[in-house]
């Protein structure tokens, strides 16, 4: 069976933007067959970061996460391709770079469990919600 065409949301986080890794990360998506359909660089406000990560608001790291995500510009993209949600998560690697497989973005580039270079939607349902959050016109 051929894989389903999907869209997912990707964010290149401040640690990667600050280290000039946007091209490196985007190149990995493109080489894996994911197409950038929308893209914007933006310095998120604390309120935007809080709203985007609202599902994590009871977690102990919430304040740290929101402060970090609003500390510097990020690149927000929709990626499209066959099986895009799962493929993007595979390219990203595990949340903690120490646990991420060799060759993944987080293994190769991330600094820590917090400063882990990329966000990616974790399900097709959440991808739709997250894309609508940042690109309501789409």
Residues that bind ligand ADP (CB under 6 A): 56, 61, 64-65, 95, 113-114, 116, 119, 122
- Smaller CB separation from ligand ADP, 11 or 34: 11
In angstroms, give the least distance from the CB of 54 to Mg ion. 12
- In the complex with ligand ADP, which residue's Cβ is closer, 48 or 137? 48
Asked whether the beta carbons of 9 and 127 are under 8 A apart, the reply is yes
Interface of this chain with Mg ion, residues 92 to 131, rule: CB under 5 A: 122
Chain centre distance of CA 126: 12
In the complex with ligand ADP, the residue whose CB is nearer, 32 or 113, is 113
Using CB distances below 5 to 8 A depending on partner kind, what does residue 95 bind out of Mg ion, ligand ADP, none? Answer: ligand ADP
Told to judge if 43 belongs to the known catalytic residues of this protein, a careful annotator would answer no
Spatial CB neighbours of 25, under 8 Å, sequence gap ≥ 6:
12, 16, 105, 109, 117, 118
64 binds, among ligand ADP, Mg ion, none (CB under 5 to 8 A by kind): ligand ADP
| Least Å from the CB of residue 106 to Mg ion | 12
Backbone dihedral angles phi then psi of residue 2, each to the nearest 5 degrees: -80, 145
Give rounded-to-5 percent helix, strand, coil for the chain.
40, 20, 40
Q: Do residues 23 and 69 lie in contact, with contact meaning Cβ atoms separated by under 8 Å?
A: no
Q: Which amino acids are annotated catalytic?
A: 119
């Amino acid at each position: 069976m051929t894989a389903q065409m999907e869209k997912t949301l990707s964010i290149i986080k401040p640690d990667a933007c600050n280290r000039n890794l946007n091209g490196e990360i985007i190149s990995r998506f493109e080489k894996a067959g994911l197409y950038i359909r929308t893209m914007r660089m933006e310095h998120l406000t604390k309120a935007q970061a809080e709203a985007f990560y609202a599902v994590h608001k009871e977690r102990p790291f919430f304040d740290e996460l929101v402060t970090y995500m609003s500390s510097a510009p990020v690149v927000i993209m929709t990626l499209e391709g066959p099986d895009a949600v799962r493929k993007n998560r595979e390219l990203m690697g595990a949340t903690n770079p120490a646990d991420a497989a060799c060759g993944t973005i987080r293994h190769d580039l991330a600094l820590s469990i917090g400063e882990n270079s990329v966000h990616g939607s974790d399900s097709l349902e959440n991808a739709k919600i997250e894309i609508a959050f940042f690109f309501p016109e789409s």
